[in-house]
Amino acid sequence: MTDGDPTAVDRAALLAAYDEQLRTDAETPSAVDVTRLGPLRLVTFSGGRGFVTYRDLGGADAAEVARLVAGALTHYVADGEISRVEWKSRGHDHAPGLHEALLAHGFVPDEPESIMVGEVGPLAVDVPLPDGVTLRRVTSEADVRAMSAMADEGFGDPVSTERADAVLARLRRDDGMELWVAEAEGAMVSAGRLEPVADTEFAGIWGGATLPAWRGRGIYRALTAARARSALRLGKRWMHSDSTELSRPILERSGLVKVSTTTPYEWRR
């Protein structure tokens, strides 16, 4: 960071807020169980999913990092209901040997994503929609299942009833999550979640998916703006998201800043 570079200063401040407010239990409001292993939080979600996260690794060297990876996997292997585990790494962490240790224990890295953080206000703008496209918040089981199936298609994945079941379970817990969709010609064409983070100044925007035929028309940005307006009504100051290269430029144009990267590593039983 250089003196006189406001972007660098802002990025450091945003990253500090992200680390301090979000890398706690606030990161996983829908957890059904959390076990501590040194600096790690070993989270279990409904649907047989494990999730490993932490604020930092406490200065661990490569040997200790390898022991933490082994211990985390042992924890999940012992629970027969866990079918997959995600280890959420961040590019700015001091984590010597983490990549090698995860690979050695059967974790497979996915594509890196950009950690985006910024003010909610600049996102909450009026975005014109294409003719015939409307936005709404959904809560019914039929709508949630239709939204989940559309998102699977948008991401190029097989339709998963398991993912839809997990979203419905979260709605029943009433943890603040909101589901928003865009519809055209009687069908859902884009969707995303708003996740206000309790006891922080943050809300997250997640799960943004748009069918290929409807991309490039401003629909994703309009959905983001709708979620931002809702976040403002809830008194949130900051918005954050882990963004693919497809959505990152849209969020940058709205004022969010790339503060780091995150790479998910997945283990499957």
Per-residue b or e along 47-57, where b marks 16 or more CB atoms closer than 10 Å to that residue's CB: bbbbbbbbeeb
Contact 43, 37 (CB under 8 A): no
Indicate left, alpha or beta for 8 from its phi (over 0: left) and psi (-120 to 50: alpha). alpha
Residue ranges of the chain with per-residue pLDDT less than 70: 1-9
pLDDT of residue 127: 92
pLDDT of residue 2: 44
Per-residue b or e along 70-82, where b marks 16 or more CB atoms closer than 10 Å to that residue's CB: eebbebbeeeeeb
Q: Is the dihedral of CA 53, 58, 62, 63 positive or negative?
A: negative
Contact 255, 119 (CB under 8 A): yes
Greatest CA separation found in the chain?
58
pLDDT of residue 5: 56
Dist CA 171 CA 177 (whole Å): 7
Dist CA 176 CA 199 (whole Å): 12
User: Torsion over CA of 68, 72, 78 and 81, rounded to 10 degrees?
Assistant: -170
Residue with tokens 């559309």: 150
User: Torsion over CA of 132, 134, 139 and 144, rounded to 10 degrees?
Assistant: 50
Dist CA 113 CA 251 (whole Å): 13
Contact 117, 261 (CB under 8 A): no
DSSP string, 201-234: SEEEEEEEEE-GGGTTSSHHHHHHHHHHHHHHHT
CATH architecture of 121-236: 3-Layer(aba) Sandwich (3.40)
- Token reading at 38: 């040194």
Residue type, 213: A
pLDDT of residue 10: 86
Q: What is the pTM of this model?
A: 0.84
pLDDT of residue 77: 97
pLDDT of residue 134: 97
DSSP-assigned beta bridge partners for residue 114: 243, 261
Terminal Cα distance for the chain, rounded: 43
Residues of the chain with CATH 3.40.630.30: 121-236
| Three-class DSSP category at 4 | coil
User: Torsion over CA of 261, 69, 81 and 207, rounded to 10 degrees?
Assistant: 0
pLDDT of residue 82: 96
Burial of 84 (C-beta count, 10 Å sphere; 0-12/13-18/19+): middle
Residue with tokens 């629909």: 219
